[in-house]
Amino acid sequence: AQSVTQLDSQVPVFEEAPVELRCNYSSSVSVYLFWYVQYPNQGLQLLLKYLSGSTLVESINGFEAEFNKSQTSFHLRKPSVHISDTAEYFCAVSPLYNQGGKLIFGQGTELSVKP
């Protein structure tokens, strides 16, 4: 079985400040890792994912996440946030084999960027 823990339910930051949203997971099998984002009044959409290769993955809007196998973590970071980054962020894992790609989600972190 897999589980995902997002350590912060709410993260308030000022515009242009750096931010880190923490995600730890537990799994007895290898997993793919994802961050999904839900902007206000919009549907859930993929932000970035780690499948294999380089452990550092980036999104098109400046977020990055690093897969750390020894610490079973996949923290999301951005060096300078914008008001438009205000959203709820969900970390998720998916077993590599035999489970069809179902996602196991954390409880979400609400990022609130203030001017």
State the residues that interact with other proteins by CB under 8 A.
Answer: 4, 6, 32, 36, 43-46, 49, 51, 90, 92, 94-97, 99-108
Side chain identity at 30, as an amino acid letter?
A: S
Closer of 17 and 29 to other proteins (Cβ) = 29
Q: Give the pairing of strands 87-95 and 73-78.
A: unpaired
| Nearest approach, Cβ of residue 91 and other proteins (Å) | 9
CB closer to other proteins, 51 vs 56: 51
DSSP three-state, residue 83:
helix
Nearer to other proteins, 36 or 67 (CB): 36
**Type of residue found at 16:** E
Tell me how far, at minimum, the Cβ of 99 lies from other proteins, in Å: 7
Of 15 and 38, the one with the shorter C-beta distance to other proteins is 38
Closest CA to 67 of 13, 105, 31: 31
DSSP letter assigned to residue 84: G
CB 114 within 8 A of CB 52: no
Smallest separation, CB 96 to other proteins (Å): 6
Least Å distance, CB 110 to other proteins, is 11
**CA–CA dist 69, 67 (Å, integer):** 6
